[in-house]
């Protein structure tokens, strides 16, 4: 494979696409599949054939389009018209009216049951306010076809890096882009790459962290399902930059479709010589293997993840040495999140300068969020850093449904915190969220309305951390249990003032003395709800139990 062959494939696909008047994408992400998009895809393909339109209209399965709640979704290109809740009976309407007669089926347009929308649904606030880099191809190409990916400039960044850039230049470009780790902590990606690059070793490894353990986050899943080649290309470029020949993608066992699609992508890339020995005729060799996670939240922590790839219990170890120096099998290892890798190809192609101008001065680029909970339009969105929470929740997400009042936005999962209404105008970036007592996290954004009891929310997350604590260090193992018991006592209206004082003291100890990120951040939901919703704690101290007595079992 060389640039010419890459161009040939791209041209062939584009020429084929030009032959079609319309392209119909049927969302086949896990969300829409569960709403029943597979029979819709087959139905559409058959109906188009029956009408004799198969030479004019192409029907393909695609990745996630965003508003999962409205699924199954069908998008007609180039019209940019998205139809919602399309089931088999609705297929005929799309074929008979839109595809045959150019007549938009207004009653099936996305969001049409709750607001006015035009036929060009990309003008709807849900889509218009977004800025897509990572999700650029999601929902527009067939994720199971490498040719489709190549036709949208796929693997061109890898070609550019291998042919025209040295390792140092690739790293310099990433540094210049000011991209920061999208897994949550926000460590500068270029700096991490440079550190691993500088260590001399016979072998180095690239690891893609796809162990999206935060409950309420599904960005990585959607990217892996909707555009797996983008992640693969990012990993290969990283391998070239740091001098690694082997990569591992650690994907959650709970995501069978993501595993299947990524595995398929690896095989396709190998076949075309985009992975394997002497990629694109250069000296560079790189291959990727999948490792399937087995359901442990702590494995999102890098040293625990490495232990898990080595086939051991996923327990973290003290750092230093950092994985950059001594990681997988003691070799220098680069670990980045799925979304970070998905950002690499566009940065190499369009330059770090372009990327650094998006977002805020300290946090460049865009961030993918998973909107869920008590929100009108839940789903997957990508916005530039620095957009306010209010815009994200009310303009894009449509606010809280059912006439209820907004109460809090929870970011960062069990490691994050709850942000109340008065801070909704905060511009979202790594620093601003930390100053509010939360964290960016991997991008889960759960909206809670007035019916949520914040003490019980804190208890929910504490139960999670208690159960997921690996048990290696005492502060986390014992501390989370004690905090959980105290929170339960408060929830059931059986606590006294002394208990709250003890809880606050304990939270600080656990935060300061735990071994890894899980323990260090476990008190965050508690501390942030105490900070903003203390009134509710005090209310329970008077003997009022939580409105809904929680009964979530400890599994």
Partner 1 sequence: MIAVKDKAKTFDLPKDDPRTKLLMSTLKREGTRPDALIQVLHTAQTLYGYLPMNVIRYITQSLRLPPSRVFGVVTFYHFFSLKQKGEHNCLVCTGTACYVKGAEKILEEINKAYALKAGEVTADNNLGLQTARCIGACGLAPAMVIDDNIVAKVKSEEVTGIIRSRIGEAK
Strands 406-411 and 444-449: antiparallel
Which one of the spans 33-41, 45-53, 502-510, 530-538 is the region binding partner 1 (CB under 8 A)?
A: 33-41
* Nearer residue to partner 1 within complex by CB, 30 or 541: 30
Which one of the spans 119-127, 312-320, 500-508, 538-546 is the region binding partner 1 (CB under 8 A)?
A: 312-320
Task: Please pick, from the candidates 19, 39, 253, 330, the single residue that binds partner 1 as defined by CB under 8 A.
Answer: 253
What secondary structure letter does DSSP report for 387? -
Q: How far is Cα 447 from Cα 457, in angstroms, rounded to an integer? A: 12
Task: Report CA torsion sign: 187, 190, 191, 194.
Answer: positive
Task: Please pick, from the candidates 54, 56, 203, 254, the single residue that binds partner 1 as defined by CB under 8 A.
Answer: 254
Q: Which of residues 220-239 bind partner 1 (CB under 8 A)?
A: 221
Q: Is 69 near partner 1 (CB under 8 A)?
A: yes
DSSP string for residues in 495-510: --HHHHHHHHHHHHHH
Q: Binding residues for partner 1, how many (CB under 8 A)?
A: 61
Q: Which of residues 429-448 bind partner 1 (CB under 8 A)?
A: 444, 446-448
CA atoms within 13 A on the CB side of 534: 8
Q: Is 68 near partner 1 (CB under 8 A)?
A: yes
The vertex-344 CA angle with 339 and 345, nearest 5°, equals 120
* Nearer residue to partner 1 within complex by CB, 85 or 132: 85
Q: Where are the alpha helices (DSSP H) in 280-364?
A: 302-309, 338-350, 352-356
* Nearer residue to partner 1 within complex by CB, 154 or 398: 398
Residue 179: partners with Cβ closer than 8 Å, 6 or more residues away = 188, 189, 190, 340, 343, 344, 347, 355, 364, 365
Compute φ and ψ for 145, nearest 5 degrees.
Answer: -120, 120
**DSSP E strands: which ranges in 294-397?**
333-337, 366-373, 379-384
Tracing tokens 């018991």 back to the chain, one arrives at: 485
Extract the tokens encoding 5: 């062959």
Cβ at position 254, least distance to partner 1 in Å: 6
Tracing tokens 């120096």 back to the chain, one arrives at: 325
Q: Is 460 near partner 1 (CB under 8 A)?
A: yes
Cβ at position 515, least distance to partner 1 in Å: 16
Q: Is 376 near partner 1 (CB under 8 A)?
A: no
Residue 493: partners with Cβ closer than 8 Å, 6 or more residues away = 540, 542, 543, 544, 545, 546
Q: Is 296 near partner 1 (CB under 8 A)?
A: yes
Q: Which of 268, 263, 270, 227 is nearest to 248 (CA)?
A: 263
Q: Is 378 near partner 1 (CB under 8 A)?
A: yes
Which one of the spans 31-39, 41-49, 86-94, 194-202 is the region binding partner 1 (CB under 8 A)?
A: 31-39
3-state DSSP call for residue 110? coil
* Nearer residue to partner 1 within complex by CB, 213 or 346: 213
Cβ at position 66, least distance to partner 1 in Å: 9
Q: Which of residues 395-414 bind partner 1 (CB under 8 A)?
A: 410, 413
Which one of the spans 102-110, 133-141, 216-224, 435-443 is the region binding partner 1 (CB under 8 A)?
A: 216-224
537 touches 491 (CB < 8 A): no
Task: Please pick, from the candidates 159, 173, 211, 212, the single residue that binds partner 1 as defined by CB under 8 A.
Answer: 212
Task: Please pick, from the candidates 53, 110, 217, 516, the single residue that binds partner 1 as defined by CB under 8 A.
Answer: 217
Which one of the spans 16-24, 55-63, 262-270, 377-385 is the region binding partner 1 (CB under 8 A)?
A: 377-385
Cβ at position 239, least distance to partner 1 in Å: 20
Q: Is 518 near partner 1 (CB under 8 A)?
A: no
Which one of the spans 5-13, 51-59, 111-119, 544-552 is the region binding partner 1 (CB under 8 A)?
A: 544-552
Q: Which of 71, 76, 78, 80 is nearest to 59 (CA)?
A: 76
Binding site for partner 1 (CB under 8 A): 30-31, 33-35, 67-69, 71, 212-218, 221, 252-255, 291-297, 308-314, 370-374, 378-380, 410, 413, 444, 446-448, 452, 460-461, 464, 468, 470, 548, 550-553, 555
């Amino acid at each position: 494979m060389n640039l010419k062959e890459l161009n040939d494939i791209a041209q062939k696909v584009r020429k084929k696409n030009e032959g079609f008047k319309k392209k119909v994408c049927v969302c086949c992400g896990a969300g829409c599949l569960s709403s029943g998009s597979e029979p819709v895809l087959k139905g559409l393909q058959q109906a188009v054939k029956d009408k004799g339109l198969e030479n004019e209209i192409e029907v393909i399965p695609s990745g996630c389009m965003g508003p999962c709640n409205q699924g199954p979704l069908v998008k007609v290109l180039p019209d940019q018209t998205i139809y919602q809740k399309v089931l088999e009976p609705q297929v005929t309407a799309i074929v008979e009216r839109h595809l045959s007669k150019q007549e938009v089926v207004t009653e099936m347009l996305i969001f049409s049951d709750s607001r006015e929308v035009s036929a060009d649904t990309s003008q709807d606030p849900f889509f218009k306010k977004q800025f897509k880099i990572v999700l650029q191809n999601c929902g527009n190409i067939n994720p199971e076809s490498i040719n489709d990916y190549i036709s949208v400039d796929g693997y061109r960044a890898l070609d550019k890096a291998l042919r025209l850039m040295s390792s140092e230049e690739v790293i310099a470009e990433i540094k210049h882009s000011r991209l920061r780790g999208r897994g949550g902590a926000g460590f500068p990606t270029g700096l991490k790459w440079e550190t691993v690059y500088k260590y001399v070793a016979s072998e180095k490894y690239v690891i893609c962290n796809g162990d999206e353990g935060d409950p309420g986050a599904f960005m990585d899943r959607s990217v892996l399902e909707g555009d797996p080649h983008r992640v693969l290309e990012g990993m290969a470029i990283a391998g070239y930059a740091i001098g690694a020949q082997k990569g591992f993608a650690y994907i959650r066992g709970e995501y069978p479709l993501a595993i299947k699609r990524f595995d398929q992508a690896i095989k396709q890339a190998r076949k075309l010589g985009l992975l394997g020995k002497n990629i694109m005729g250069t000296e560079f060799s790189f291959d990727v293997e999948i490792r399937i996670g087995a359901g442990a939240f702590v494995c999102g922590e890098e040293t625990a993840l490495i232990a898990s790839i080595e086939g051991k219990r996923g327990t973290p170890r003290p750092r230093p040495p950092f994985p950059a120096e001594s990681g997988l099998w003691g070799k220098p290892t680069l670990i980045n999140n799925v979304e970070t890798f998905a950002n690499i190809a566009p940065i190499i192609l369009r330059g770090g300068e372009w990327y650094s101008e998006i977002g805020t001065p300290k946090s460049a680029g865009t961030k993918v969020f998973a909107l869920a909970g008590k929100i009108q339009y839940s789903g997957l969105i990508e916005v530039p850093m620095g957009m306010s929470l209010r815009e994200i929740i009310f303009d894009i997400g449509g606010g809280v449904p059912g006439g209820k009042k907004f109460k809090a936005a929870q970011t960062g999962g069990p490691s994050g915190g709850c942000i109340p209404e008065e801070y909704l105008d905060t511009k979202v970036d790594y620093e601003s969220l930390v100053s509010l007592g939360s964290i960016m996290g991997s991008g889960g954004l759960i909206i809670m309305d007035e019916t949520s009891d914040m003490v019980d929310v804190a208890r929910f997350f504490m139960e999670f951390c208690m159960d997921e604590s690996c048990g290696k260090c005492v502060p986390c193992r014992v501390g989370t249990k004690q905090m959980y018991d105290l929170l339960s006592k408060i929830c059931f209206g059986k606590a006294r003032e002394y208990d709250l004082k003890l809880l606050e003291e304990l939270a600080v100890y656990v935060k300061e003395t735990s071994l890894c990120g899980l323990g260090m951040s476990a008190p965050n939901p508690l501390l942030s709800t105490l900070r903003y919703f203390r009134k509710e704690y005090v209310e329970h101290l008077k003997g009022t139990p939580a409105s809904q007595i929680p009964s979530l079992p400890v599994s």
